[in-house]
Amino acid sequence: MDDNMIRLGIGFATGRKNFRKVMNSYIYGWVESGIVNKLQEKVSLNLFVAYDVDYSHTQSTDYTNLRQEIVDAFDEIVFIGSKHIRNREFENIEEDLELKKDVKLVFGNGYAGKRNVILYEALKHKMDYLLFLDDDEYPVAVTKNNENCLWSGQYVLPIHLEHIVHSDITNGYHCGYISPIPDIQFNETLTEEDFGLFINTISNDILNWESIKKIMKNGGVTYADTQVLIKKEATEVKETNHCKFISGANLCINLTKPDRTFAFYNPPGARGEDTFLSTLLSDRVVTRIPCYTFHDGFSAYQHLLDGTLPIKLNSITANSDQIISRFYHACIGWIRYKPLLLYITNPSDYESIIEDMRKKLLYILPKLSNYFKKQEFMKILEELNKADKQVKKNYQQYLDTQKAWKNLTDKYHKDKINN
């Protein structure tokens, strides 16, 4: 391969059949943008897919059976199934017992492990940059004019490529159904003050009641900022409470200096791998770039990829078991990782904050359970207590994961990456 060629990896950690359709839309956008003809250097596109057939009862061919025109768009395609991660796990590393422990730590823990195996393979194949995309996010932006939706296509790949050269990480914007919190009709059982107290208790610095209230007023929809679309200006992400907050998709990582990369981490049984990566970025250049993806959080708008653009987006109301369950599981996910986030970012006040959370949850959870007619909401306090008991162990695992990542990139890839 030409040494002057830019090597861009596209990474998907996926478990949905819709993956192929979503990926096609990004590649068609790349071709349509004409960016290849504008660049002095040639660009090599490469695909890395870590797939999970158990997530939604799929089979490997749901991911590997690609259209020939899509196959032809890539110079290299790497598929990584769960069995490959467990059984193959980098055979030549397995011979080293110390590195074998590192492999288990970095690649064996939930969603973060799938992202890490993509990151690792991208380094192994000498990518310059790696762009993570999600299988439920589409390269379109939606704004609102009076009561109607206005749609615009987004050149996600070219815009990342333009800005990642001078950044360690680039991260785009998100619109659509980002929040799993439904529109709620408050009453005596659950007042607005009660719900605001709950959201602020379980949330982080980005997800808070003030931001959620605005989304709820729009029926649960986040609309793109027209100024971002018009001005097309990139901005540096500032640090907030020891974090440079990023999202896990529409996210590009600069791999030209592997020693400046970090592994993803999430506590066992939890998510938050993007949030925990955010805690490591104090001395990294993180750039928010002017491109949107539409998050189809309820898988209700897959027809967008077929060219059907709705004039109005439906409100997400708490009127079905599916929506209430999605909200509940999101709450469980948040509460499972918040103790570790607090322990990392505010260790001196950790105990007092956790105790305050317990008191507030004791007050508010019965109200939520009665309102949604779902007693499982009471388990949120149990999950907080479990996460609190495990926080020191998880913190050590969080640190050890970064050490293990450094060992893998230093010891195993040193010659391959730097030569």
pLDDT at 93 over 80: no
Helix axes 97-107, 110-124, angle to 10 degrees: 120
Question: What's the whole-number mean pLDDT along residues 204-221?
Answer: 82
Give the H or E element holding residue 114: helix 110-124
Quote the pLDDT of residue 259: 92
User: What confidence tens digit (pLDDT) does each residue in 20-73 have?
Assistant: 999 999 999 998 887 766 665 689 999 999 998 888 889 999 999 999 999 999
Task: Identify the band that residue 88 occupies on the pLDDT scale cut at 50, 70 and 90.
Answer: very low
Q: What is the 3-state secondary structure (H, E, C) of 206-241?
A: CCCHHHHHHHHHCCCCECCCHHHHHHCCCEECCCEC
pLDDT of residue 411: 67
The sign of the dihedral angle between the CA atoms of 89, 52, 128, 36 is positive
Cβ neighbours for 103, distance < 8 A, ≥ 6 positions apart: 89, 90, 93, 94, 404, 408
Higher pLDDT, 215 or 223: 223
Sign, CA torsion 113/118/123/128: negative
Exposure string of 175-187, with b = 16+ CB inside 10 Å and e = fewer, is bbbbbbbbbbeee
User: Nearest 5°: phi and psi at 12?
Assistant: -125, 125
Task: Report whether pLDDT(417) > 50.
Answer: no
% of the chain at pLDDT higher than 90:
70
Asked if 241 contacts 343 with a C-beta cutoff of 8 angstroms, the reply is: no
Q: Kind and range of the H or E element at 142?
A: strand 140-145
pTM confidence score: 0.94
